[in-house]
Structure 1
Amino acid sequence: MTLLKRNTVLILLAFFAIYVIWGSTYLLNKIAVTELPAFMLAGIRFITAGSLIFLIAKFLKIPLVVTKRQLGNSIIAGFLFLTFGNGVVVWALKFVDSGFAALEISAQPLVVLLLMRILQNKRIQPMSFIGVGLGMIGIYLLVSQKQIISQDGALLGMILIFFCMISWAYGSLFVGKADLPPNYFVNTGYQMLTGGIQLFLISALIGEEWISPVDWSVPVKWSMLLLILLGSIVAFTAFNYLLKVVSPEKVATSTYVNPIIAMILGWYFLKEEITLQSVIAALILLTGVYFINTKKRITLFSRFTSKKLG
Structure 2
Amino acid sequence: MNQSTQGLLLRAMPVLFVLLWSTGFIGAKYGLPYAEPWTFLAIRFVASVAVLLVIVRLVGAAWPRDLRLWGHVAVTGVLVHAIYLGGVFYSIYRGMPAGVAALIVGLQPLVTALLARPWLGERIAAVQWLGIGLGLIGIVLVLGDKIDTSADALFAGFGPEAILLALVALLAISVGTIYQKRHCSGIDLLTGTCIQFVAAAAVTTVAAFLFETREVQWVPQFVFALTWLVLGLSVAAILLLMAMIRRGEASRVASLFYLVPPVTAVEAWILFGERLGLVAIVGIGLAVLGVALAARYRA
TM normalised by structure 2 equals 0.90
Deviations 1:252-278 (A, max 9, x none): 133222112211111111111221111
Letter in 2 for 1:47: V
RMSD (Å) for aligned C-alpha atoms: 2.1
Gaps of 5+ in 1: 299-310
Please state whether the residue corresponding to 1:253 is helix, strand or coil.
helix
In the alignment, the residues of structure 2 paired with residue 241 and residue 271 of structure 1 have an alpha-carbon distance, to the nearest angstrom, of 35
In the alignment, the residues of structure 2 paired with residue 170 and residue 67 of structure 1 have an alpha-carbon distance, to the nearest angstrom, of 22
* Cα offset, 1:42, TM superposition: 1.0
Please state whether the residue corresponding to 1:64 is helix, strand or coil.
coil
Pair 1:63 & 2:90 matched? no
In the alignment, the residues of structure 1 paired with residue 91 and residue 23 of structure 2 have an alpha-carbon distance, to the nearest angstrom, of 17
- Match of residue 141 from structure 1: 141
Question: Equivalent residues in 2 for 1:145-294 (5 A)?
Answer: 145=145, 146-147=147-148, 149-151=154-156, 153-179=158-184, 182-211=187-216, 215-294=217-296
Letter in 1 for 2:29: K
- Match of residue 80 from structure 1: 79
Letter in 2 for 1:170: V
- Match of residue 99 from structure 1: 99
Deviations 1:103-151 (A, max 9, x none): 1222111110111124334211121121111111112112223138434
* Cα offset, 1:153, TM superposition: 3.9
Identity of aligned residues (%): 18
In the alignment, the residues of structure 1 paired with residue 48 and residue 66 of structure 2 have an alpha-carbon distance, to the nearest angstrom, of 22
Q: Is 1:143–1:158's contact at 8 Å kept on the other side of the alignment?
A: no
Letter in 2 for 1:81: V
In the alignment, the residues of structure 1 paired with residue 239 and residue 249 of structure 2 have an alpha-carbon distance, to the nearest angstrom, of 16
Please state whether the residue corresponding to 1:85 is helix, strand or coil.
helix
* Cα offset, 1:223, TM superposition: 0.9
Letter in 2 for 1:62: A
Bigger CA radius of gyration: 1
TM normalised by structure 1 equals 0.87
* Cα 1:217–1:42 shift into 2, 3 Å: same
Please state whether the residue corresponding to 2:34 is helix, strand or coil.
coil
- Match of residue 23 from structure 1: 22
* Cα offset, 1:248, TM superposition: 4.7
Please state whether the residue corresponding to 1:272 is helix, strand or coil.
coil
Pairs aligned (count): 293
Deviations 1:190-248 (A, max 9, x none): 1012211211111111133332xxx4221111111011001111112212322342455
Q: Is 1:89–1:164's contact at 8 Å kept on the other side of the alignment?
A: yes
* Cα 1:103–1:127 shift into 2, 3 Å: same
- Match of residue 305 from structure 1: none
